[in-house]
Structure 1
Amino acid sequence: MELGIFLLAAQFEAGDQGAVLTAALDAGCAAEVAGFGEAWIAEHHFVPYGVCPSAVTFAAMLLGRTDRLRVGTAISVLPNTHPVLLGEQTALLDQLSHGRFTLGIGRGGPWVDLEVFGGGLERYEEEGWAESVDLLMRWLTRRRVAADGPQYHFREVPVVPRPLTRPHPPVIVACTTPASAALAARQGLPMLLGMHADDTEKAEMIRTYDAAARACGRDPRGVPHAAAAVALVADSRTEAVRELRTALPKWLGLGLPAHQTLDGHPRTMRDPRTYTDYLCSIHPIGTPKECIARLRRTAEATGITRQLLFVEGAGTRERTLENIHRLGKEVLPHLQAD
């Protein structure tokens, strides 16, 4: 089993956002010391839920601060940027990190981001999203690229720099719907499944992916899908759950409703306390032994052996670093041996 950490640069209390970002960067560095193979950073815009607006920029900083760690974006919001620009940034980081960068992409939400960055709803909807992914992957795999689609039109230009990794740098697609799973399968790309989904839902997405892959002549076996999970190690499950019930509802209550939809209509959000209890029920929370057992159950139920652990749930820099240390020392070695 492969374990990485997943960072949201989550702002639990009002205050210095620079300190939040620095704490997330420190957590990424601590993950390398603790023995993790990879660290991932999320991207959000205009909300305190996560204060990193550029996952690629953060990844570049973390790659420069580490020697071995693979670093990924979870995710870069593709409708907010031009696929060629994101492709150039990916190739640049692939070259300079000697292949340690993974690009995670996703649609994001129908948020006001689409208005601010000019992508519009067309790039978020299925056809525009598929066109963007196709252009990105052509950029990462060819020497010259042109575009003549509904969203992107330009003459043929050379790909500079070309990526180091062949056939292309690792790319993973955040999938929350069967349509996104089918798109990832057609492109031959693995899925990143979110921490809101339980094992049954994740297993169903894998079945959807596998069927779509076979339908277009691709073999789905061995695709390195990944799944995010909340993880908190404590001396007892009661203590871990208490910490999360103290920190997460306030953070979720402030951060999730801050998302503004493009059309201004309100979106129904989960009740923060109910959602916290749900997360505690499906993820590795508790003693090291309980965390190990939970991660093994998920791998057995879904076939996903690549788990990205959200480690900031207790809400403080000190507890995040302690959590990374304990996961690395008391959980990781047992699962690496599986």
Structure 2
Amino acid sequence: MTASPSMSPSMTLGLALDLGSEPAMGPVAAQLRRARPLLETAERAGFDSVWLGESFHARPEPFHLPSALLVLAHLAPLTTLGLGTGVLLVRAQDPDRLATEAALLDQLSEGRLVLGLGLGPPPLRGRFGGPDRAGGALLDTVLAGMRERWRDGGGAVPAPWRAGGPPVLVGGSGAAAVHRAVSAADGYYAATNYSDRVLARQASAYRDAGGTGTVAANRICVVDTDGDRARDHAAQHLGGLRDYYRSRGLWDVGRADGDPDPVLVGTPDEVLSRLRDHRRAGVSQIQVRVAPHPMPAEVARRTVALLGEHVLPRLGALPAGSREHDRSTS
């Protein structure tokens, strides 16, 4: 395992872009052009990175594209933000090609890449050059193989920009994912559909096991100075996203009766309160999905601007007596 950075005493925010193949969203190049003002707003607001998920669809879908590394390579010269995958689906990746292409993108971005990895659904086995193997052992093999290829003389040509390669986060909702994040990666990644309960459990388990790297989570987010207006935007524009996950049985993973919906919606103060809850559990980065189709662009930009103006400046060190403050200062 490469050395992991110490956990920051503050929480950072990243921007999770929603791109898709749904015809109503338009050509991919046009989607990326429309995303540029949002990227610029995120830079001005103090966000540190932009993230892309990955999906492989048999028919047009509204969320995520294949080949996230290819799209991030297009974004690299258009923004100064860090670049992240949230997440690449390992069952669809040839391991050697993945290590080589990640090293190349790390070069193209001059060391701005963070590689989030997950297994992906079983139907991806054997497709797109990916291994026809199942289970977490595949992810372990891929992680070890990438580390080997990224070492000096390990075979990746060109070698990564950073010695040892880009940081790697691994996802998963069980104990094995936490163990893998501590022992073989640089941090842990929680998906959009993980409940706050699962996120808190996984983040706490990672920290309790000695994990000192990034704990990142992806969250849908709508912020407005008028909380009711933010909730109206969410009700009007986020139903399709929830239905997309629910139709696949993937929404509210681990959620119990009475738990909040795993979204960040409301005033800056309301969202700040939720973010501080995540931070107390050990989460160090939240990637906000502010523009899932068909969220209006101006609503998404307003969310990012308000997060930068009213939330990020207050996501500094935790108050004395909180769980993560006590741990980070001990």
Instruction: Please state if 1:173 is matched with 2:170.
Output: yes
1:317 deviates by 2.4
Residues 43-122 of structure 1 aligned to structure 2 (within 5 Å): 43-46=54-57, 47-67=60-80, 69-111=81-123, 113-114=124-125, 116-119=127-130, 121-122=132-133
**2-side partners of 1:296 and 1:315: how far apart?**
26
The answer as to 2:217 corresponding to 1:227 is yes
Post-superposition offset of 1:74: 0.8
Is 1:161 the counterpart of 2:158 in the alignment? Answer: yes
The residue aligned with 2:323 is none
**Contact 1:21/1:52 (<8 A) preserved:** no
Letter in 1 for 2:65: C
Query: How far off is 1:268 after superposition?
Result: 3.7
For 1:225, what is the secondary structure of its paired residue?
strand
1:308 corresponds to 2:259: no
Residue 14, structure 1, aligned to residue 27, structure 2: no
Q: Deviations for 1:204-263, whole angstroms, at most 9, x for unmatched residues?
A: 22344356x5xxxxx42x222112222211132222122112222224435764xxxxxx
State the partner residue of 1:291: 271
Asked if 2 retains the 8 angstrom alpha-carbon contact of 1:110 and 1:121, the reply is no
Distance 1:159 1:254, change over 3 A: closer
| Alignment partners' CA distance in 1, 2:136 and 2:225 | 46
Q: How does 1:265-280 map to 2 (within 5 A)?
A: 268=249, 270=251
Q: Deviations over 1:94-118 (max 9, x none)?
A: 223221111111111123x435424
SS at match of 1:58: helix
C-alpha displacement at 1:89, in angstroms?
Answer: 1.6
Gaps of 5+ in 2: 1-10, 319-330
Q: Provide TM-score, normalisation by structure 2.
A: 0.80
Stretch of structure 1 that moved more, 318-327 or 33-42: 318-327
Please provide the CA RMSD for this pair: 2.9
- Please state if 1:141 is matched with 2:151: yes
306-315 vs 186-195, greater mean Cα deviation: 306-315
Looking at structure 1, the residues matched to 260 and 23 of structure 2 have their Cα atoms a distance apart, in angstroms, of: 21
Partner of 1:147: none
Structure number with higher helix proportion = 1
- Give identity over the alignment, percent: 27
Deviations 1:47-66 (A, max 9, x none): 51314212111211221112
Secondary structure of the 2:122 match is coil
The separation in 1 between residues aligned to 2:31 and 2:258, in whole angstroms, is 26
Report deviation, 1:309: 1.2
Q: Which moved more, 1:3-12 or 1:79-88?
A: 3-12
Question: Normalising to structure 1: TM-score of the pair?
Answer: 0.78
Amino acid at match of 2:49: E
Matches within 5 A, 1:240-251: 240-251=230-241
Asked whether the equivalents of residues 25 and 62 of structure 1 are also in contact (C-alpha less than 8 Å), the reply is no
Shift of 1:70: 0.8
State the one-letter code of the partner of 1:56. Answer: L
Corresponding residue number in structure 2 for 1:27: 38
Match of residue 335 from structure 1? 315
Distance change (3 Å), C-alpha of 1:143 and 1:64? same
Contact residue 173 and residue 198 of structure 2 kept, 8 A = no
Q: Provide closer, same or farther for how the CA distance between residues 11 and 295 of structure 1 changes in structure 2, counting only shifts above 3 A.
A: farther
Is the 1:230–1:279 Cα contact (8 Å) retained in structure 2? no
* Alignment deviations for residues 92-143 of structure 1 (CA, whole Å, 9 cap, x no partner): 12223221111111111123x4354243651x42222322222122212342
Q: Which residue of structure 2 aligns with residue 153 of structure 1?
A: none
Q: In 2, are the aligned partners of 1:8 and 1:43 still within 8 Å (CA)?
A: no
Q: Is the 8 A contact 1:101 1:170 kept in 2?
A: yes
Distance 1:119 1:176, change over 3 A: same
Does residue 195 of structure 1 match 2:192?
yes
Matched to 2:142, the amino acid is S
Paired with 1:242 and 1:278, the residues of 2 have a C-alpha distance of 21
Name the CA shift for 1:250/1:66 in 2 (closer, same or farther; >3 Å): closer
Deviations 1:161-192 (A, max 9, x none): 11121232111112222222222222142001
